[in-house]
Amino acid sequence: MKLVFATHNQHKFREVKALMPSHIELVNLTDIGCFDDIPETAETIEGNAKLKADYVRDHYSLPCFADDTGLEVTALNGAPGVYSARYAGAEKSAEANMDLLLENLEGAQDRSAQFKTVIALSMQGKEELFPGICKGEIIHERKGDQGFGYDPIFLPQGYDKTFAEMEQEEKGKISHRGRAIALLLDYLNTSV
């Protein structure tokens, strides 16, 4: 089965592709000739995932899924949330985003946070949503060089290393995206 993952982010694509079984041929937006920057104008993570999946369905008529992810920090009332990728500006700089987050958490006692991913699947005339959450905390300084985004400052609950210190396979088993992908795969295996 060929399935489009509606992303241009190669880090994210590799991470998700590693979780896919061999009978699913996963392709990304570049592979289908889509070079558009799909607008993410919804007020929620679910809404943005749905916007991207709908865009591919409407313009390419291919079975696809899209995700949106946000880092929700308790002390910041859930921010950066839906604005996680562009927290420090439209250029979507991971370094600037982490710098701003650490600055905004200076002096905060509660550093609890969670990553939330929602996958929107558009296939065979139906839409389904699959959420994944990973709880943890924001540490004071970057650790590790794996992963992307906020991974160097996110310590998942029950672990003594950040996402950026984990090998892809280990992170994939516990991450927000890994959990959402597991729900997606369960659905694909039982419903398609």
Which residues are known to be catalytic?
A: 68
- Show Cβ contacts of residue 192 under 8 Å, excluding neighbours closer than 6 positions: 1, 123, 124
Strands (E), the chain: 2-5, 25-28, 64-73, 80-81, 112-123, 126-138, 154-156
* Distance set, CA 73 to CA 33, 104, 116, 129, 162 (Å): 36, 10, 11, 23, 16
Other residues' Cβ atoms within 10 Å of the Cβ of residue 30? 12
Q: How far apart are CA 134 and CA 138, in angstroms?
A: 12
Asked if residue 80 lies in contact with residue 99, where contact means CB atoms within 8 angstroms, the answer is no
Q: List the structure tokens of 60.
A: 């390419």
Q: For the CA atoms of 68, 108, 152, 177, what is the dihedral angle to 10 degrees? A: -30
- AA letter at 92: K
